[in-house]
């Protein structure tokens, strides 16, 4: 699955940070275009709301419940379109958690900024890493604000650093998901390769060839929903995870995290 996602992401390169850039132990790019999908856990409201879905009043995010249990993480040896850093496939146990159904939008991020006065890394440094059609370039003056002007309030927020993403999630009452939490929310527990099954379908995700080279309002492709109902996990924009990057374990693990920031989906 990760393999599939990575393949997709590489195809998507108009926006996002190639995961391999994160792998070489350099500092995570502070101005990387990315967005956040807040993940809440043990929030009091969750227990009072629907058993499977509720809305976080702080930022308006819809959260879906992912039950406790194991799932298969990573790709099998010999699997087509797979990368070595996504192997071996291994069983992971996760406690129950809640994760954002949609990518966080510009409108939501603006609410966070209005309430806190937060300045993103790109705004402090005076530039952001922006896809120019063939590669990422440092673009003076670019930030989530300029990208909002370009793609609109319902598009996912981009040009936010990992620190920005973490700050947003903390403000919203949650945290970034680990890579394992993200992957389970995307592929469920039956070992499927893509969110919807084992066969790639470019009509279900805003991948490079279908997107027109731009981000789209979140949730426009319901046919691309994950088994838990999460949307745009494949395609649209990449999303920050809380983890540090690292080798996958060879055996089963429980509630893992790793060591270089992971950007996915």
* Contact set with Ca ion (CB under 5 A): 232, 236, 265
Nearer to Ca ion, 219 or 265 (CB): 265
CA angle centred on 232, ends 245 and 37, rounded to 5°: 55
Q: Which residue has the tokens 């890493």?
A: 129
| Tokens found for residue 19 | 């995961």
Shortest spacing between CB 237 and Ca ion, in angstroms: 5
Question: 123 and 116 in contact (C-beta within 8 Å)?
Answer: no
Give me the residue whose beta carbon is nearest to Ca ion.
265
Shortest spacing between CB 21 and Ca ion, in angstroms: 17
| Tokens found for residue 232 | 């745009």
Shortest spacing between CB 156 and Ca ion, in angstroms: 7
- CA distance readout (Å), 222 to 7, 12, 231: 21, 19, 7
Shortest spacing between CB 219 and Ca ion, in angstroms: 11
Question: 53 and 63 in contact (C-beta within 8 Å)?
Answer: yes
Q: How far apart are CA 229 and CA 195, in angstroms?
A: 10
Shortest spacing between CB 71 and Ca ion, in angstroms: 19
Nearer to Ca ion, 256 or 265 (CB): 265
Q: How far apart are CA 2 and CA 49, in angstroms?
A: 31
Nearer to Ca ion, 164 or 232 (CB): 232
Nearer to Ca ion, 148 or 211 (CB): 211
Question: 47 and 35 in contact (C-beta within 8 Å)?
Answer: no
Nearer to Ca ion, 56 or 236 (CB): 236
């Amino acid at each position: 699955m990760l393999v599939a996602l990575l393949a997709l992401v590489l195809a998507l390169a108009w926006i996002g940070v190639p995961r391999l850039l994160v792998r070489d132990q350099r500092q995570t790019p502070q101005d990387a275009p990315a967005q956040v999908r807040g993940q809440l856990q043990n929030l009091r409201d969750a227990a009072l709301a629907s058993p499977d879905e509720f809305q976080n009043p702080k930022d308006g995010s819809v959260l879906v419940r992912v039950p406790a249990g194991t799932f298969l993480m990573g790709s099998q040896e010999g699997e087509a379109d797979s990368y070595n850093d996504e192997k071996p496939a291994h069983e992971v146990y996760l406690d129950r958690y809640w994760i954002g159904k949609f990518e966080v939008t510009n409108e939501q991020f603006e609410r966070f900024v209005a309430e806190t006065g937060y300045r993103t890394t790109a705004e402090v440094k005076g530039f952001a890493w922006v896809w120019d059609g063939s590669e990422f370039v440092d673009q003076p003056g670019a930030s989530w604000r300029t990208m909002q002007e370009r793609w609109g309030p319902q598009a996912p927020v981009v040009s936010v650093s990992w620190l920005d993403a973490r700050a947003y999630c903390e403000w919203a009452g949650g945290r970034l998901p680990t890579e394992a939490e993200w992957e389970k929310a995307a592929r469920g527990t039956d070992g499927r390769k893509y969110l919807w099954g084992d066969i790639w379908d470019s009509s279900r995700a805003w991948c490079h060839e279908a997107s027109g080279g731009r981000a789209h309002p979140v949730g426009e492709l319901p046919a691309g929903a994950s088994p838990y109902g999460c949307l745009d996990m494949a395609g649209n924009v990449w999303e920050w995870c809380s983890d540090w990057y690292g080798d996958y374990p060879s055996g089963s693990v429980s509630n893992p995290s790793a060591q270089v920031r992971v950007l996915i989906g």
